[in-house]
Structure 1
Amino acid sequence: MTAPHDPTWHKSSYSTNSGDCLEVAEGQSVLVRDTQHRELGALAFTGPEWNGLLATLKARQS
């Protein structure tokens, strides 16, 4: 059981099947971590920062 302040992590929809996976936890900020190196912690983004990052990544794919 998690405490109320513990993030709920899930595999990012941007992860691949090659083993390079990210986990994301949404809340007041968006947390992102590497599933293979969870002990290194996570990056925290505000909502606008996260949306900007996703928009930039999507633009670079096209």
Structure 2
Amino acid sequence: MAAGEQHGWRKSSYSNHQGACVEVALDDEGVSVRDSKDPAGAVLTVASRQWATFVRRLRN
């Protein structure tokens, strides 16, 4: 099973209809991120704790 497929991909409600955004998925390995315009392309997976730190710093 490919990264992110276990729980499904989610796109931000702020994304536009042209697909200019990223999608995220939670799975056993952490949080996976991919380009919504190229779903068959590269996937970046980071540990859940690292993702939480990233999001927290973005909000600050």
**Unmatched 5+ stretches in structure 2:** none
**Unmatched 5+ stretches in structure 1:** none
Question: What residue in structure 2 maps to residue 16 of structure 1?
Answer: 15
Percent identity over the alignment is 30
Paired residues in the alignment total: 54
Higher strand content, 1 or 2: 2
Normalising by the residue count of structure 2, what TM-score does the alignment of the two structures yield?
0.69
Higher helix content, 1 or 2: 1
Q: Deviations over 1:3-57 (max 9, x none)?
A: xx351112135x4327421111101211000111223211101010100110111
Higher relative contact order (CA 8 A, sep 6+): 2
Taking the aligned partners of 2:49 and 2:25, their CA distance within structure 1 comes to 15
- The CA RMSD measured in Å over matched residues stands at 1.9
